Amino acid sequence: MSDIKKVVLAYSGGLDTSVIVRWLQDTYNCEVVTFTADLGQGEEVEPARAKAEALGVKEIYIEDLREEFVRDYVFPMFRANTVYEGEYLLGTSIARPLIAKRLVQIANETGADAISHGATGKGNDQVRFELGAYALKPGVHVIAPWREWDLNSREKLLAYCEERNIPVEMKKGKSPYSMDANLLHISYEGMVLEDPWAEAEEDMWRWSVAPENAPDQPTYIELTYEKGDIVAIDGQAMKAHEVLAHLNKVGGDNGIGRIDIVENRYVGMKSRGCYETPGGTIMLRAHRAIESITLDREVAHLKDSIMPRYAEVIYNGYWWSPEREALQALIDQTQGYVNGTVRLKLYKGNVDVVGRKSDDSLFDEKIATFEEDQGAYDQKDAAGFIKLNALRLRIAAGKGRKL
């Protein structure tokens, strides 16, 4: 059918990607290399090895990428206080460039002719995987089975498995939702959620308790920052992935991080999804707090103005693009003095900032005080400042212009 002799597949070990292994073997008469990434999804990834072996796969890559994921992707994104459409913390989006990078690297290492993924033709992930792959390996051949085959339902996938003796593990109590998880978040789509009026079922949520069922006493934590990244919690130094795992646990225990949104996909449709991002919710609030005392006003406002564009770049799959690198360089340059400690109170779904301190703080108590400032600020200066800033308004009003 083609010159494709070897394909590297992003492989989860689930139904879809197990079918894809056999479909690639049958359709392209090729060898399949599987790549399974541990991004902290909360499930063992090693069982994927046995499943791949049962499908005749000889080259199997299973890699723990948790630290790289948080250190090199999640943390840089949070330096920008990134939120898509005002709510979404980009948990799925930010994982895709790392997976795309490793797919390309493994293709180079194994001499593969193509890469493949299990993303559908309706979603954003196909765009993210493929934009990343093309940016890193311009001539790469991408095979997207969901855009080629006619196995467009779970029933057809299961029938395909039965016809070809593909083992399918039917877990009791398995969630009916389409889910994606990593250390930053877990997402839910499909089923009852396809009706934007229907409330999500309580037993859907995996990482957090309902806020009303969270403890009646608040939890206090202190986060220490160096150059915009959290390096310690309650004085204990931690690696990047340990920080996020810890915040997920304490946040989830206090009912933090649930959202239910309708977002605009890059491919054009609207999609309703529910997300749990307890650690990320805490990180966003804390990072803004430490920046509030360490960043210059105009620098902070500049960051806020470019954040929506930066969020779109990540959401749409352009992590490996010159515009993201340019934005990142600006963002990272602002973080040199973002050092210090933030104290937070976690209580029934809320994250309250109750303290912040830094040796690099620009907050001057002598100037800001409501008490006697010993001449640190001359209030008479404000009159000229106000008049100069009102000049254009006074001129327009004097000409009889109406607002």
Structure tokens at 257: 């991080």
Comparing CA positions, the residue from 238, 280, 274 lying closest to residue 258 is 274
Q: Which residues contact 123 (CB under 8 A, 6 or more apart)?
A: 265, 267, 271
Other CB atoms within 10 Å distance of the CB of residue 153 = 9
Is 82 annotated as ligand-binding?
no
* Confidence (pLDDT) at 175: 59
Is 251 annotated as ligand-binding?
no
* Confidence (pLDDT) at 178: 85
222 strand-pairing partners = 343
Sorted by where each starts, the structural domains of the chain and their CATH numbers stand as 6-66+93-163 (3.40.50.620), 178-295+334-357 (3.90.1260.10), 369-398 (no CATH)
- 125 in active site: yes
User: 323 pLDDT exceeds 60?
Assistant: yes
User: Which secondary-structure segment (H or E) carries 346?
Assistant: strand 340-347
Comparing CA positions, the residue from 394, 288, 379 lying closest to residue 335 is 288
* Confidence (pLDDT) at 170: 56
Interval 299-316 mean pLDDT: 98
Q: Which of 38, 113, 125, 229 is catalytic?
A: 125
Q: Measure the CA–CA gap between 119 and 133, rounded to whole angstroms.
A: 14
* Confidence (pLDDT) at 118: 94
Is 332 annotated as ligand-binding?
no
* Confidence (pLDDT) at 136: 98
Is 12 annotated as ligand-binding?
yes
Comparing CA positions, the residue from 158, 127, 194, 132 lying closest to residue 18 is 158
Q: What sections of 137-219 are H helices per DSSP?
A: 154-163
Q: Which of 16, 260, 360, 373 is catalytic?
A: 16
Comparing CA positions, the residue from 289, 355, 344, 333 lying closest to residue 81 is 289
187 strand-pairing partners = 180, 275
pLDDT band at 152 (very low <50, low <70, confident <90, very high): confident
User: 387 pLDDT exceeds 80?
Assistant: yes
CB burial of 88-126 (b: ≥16 within 10 Å; e: otherwise) equals bbbbbbbbbbbbbbbbbebbeebebbbbbbbbbeebbbb
Is 14 annotated as ligand-binding?
yes
Could you identify the residue written with the tokens 């196995």?
Answer: 151
E runs forming strands in 172-306: 178-181, 186-189, 219-226, 229-233, 236-237, 258-264, 270-276
Cβ atoms of residues 66 and 40 within 8 Å: yes
- 96 in active site: yes
User: Which secondary-structure segment (H or E) carries 188?
Assistant: strand 186-189
User: Which secondary-structure segment (H or E) carries 311?
Assistant: helix 297-315
Q: Which of 22, 66, 96, 285 is catalytic?
A: 96
